[in-house]
Amino acid sequence: MKYLPIFIDLKDRPCLVVGGGEVGRRKVDKLLGSQAKVRLVSRELAPALEKLKAAGQIEYLGPAYEPGHLDGARLVFVCTNDPELNRRVSGDARERGIEVNVADRPELCSFIVPAVVERGDLILSISTSGASPALSARIRARLEEEFGPEYALFLKLMRRVRREWLAGGEGTMSNRELFYRLVDSDLLAALAAGDRDRAEAVLTSILGHGRALDELDIEERP
């Protein structure tokens, strides 16, 4: 089975999670991180989910799943140890044209979730198309070592630089050259080393004076 790798904007979109154990908790955390509106159905709730429910960060729909819980949902995650319930939710979602993922049951899924490495705005996803989640985990561990926290800082910086530089009305080719010079420069290495003076020197050499890290509102340290 072939999959189309995509990134979905779930901000303020209702998403349903069926199952409130540790797997369900992880799905809820990912959805909240994507700013989705999370609805939860489960007979039991992990302690972390109880806290989210009490804080009003998720909408608890009760212990028993009903097809109406799918109304308006953009995505559905099913994470129960009840095979019949898993099949029923998957079938109901597919009939409604709602994308569904059932934990550890790829044959019941219309989408699968890749292993992910996040460094701020940098998102690296790895998938073996369900053939070997263990290999995905190993590759993710390698990428976590290769792509450190400096990438989050670098991208925050680049977002600000792009916004200000493009507002200046420079030509497309000029902008393209400048952005590649930044990417190919010593800036990432300077950020990784925590060498602020070196990072500022690189920025000054490429962007000109008055573009120091402080003036770009960068406060984090890798």
Alpha carbons 89 and 76: distance in angstroms, whole number: 9
Domains delineated in the chain: 1-113 (3.40.50.720), 114-147 (3.30.160), 150-216 (no CATH)
Cβ-based burial of 98 (10 A; exposed 0-12, middle 13-18, buried ≥19)? buried
Check residue 36 and give its pLDDT: 98
Check residue 177 and give its pLDDT: 87
Global model pTM greater than 0.75: yes
Check residue 103 and give its pLDDT: 93
DSSP 4-43: -------TT-EEEEE--SHHHHHHHHHHHHTT-EEEEE-S
Cβ count within 10 A of residue 96 = 13
pLDDT in tens, 169-219: 655 567 788 899 999 999 999 999 988 889 889 988 988 755 557 655 555
Check residue 222 and give its pLDDT: 47
- Regions in the chain scoring below 50 on pLDDT: 222
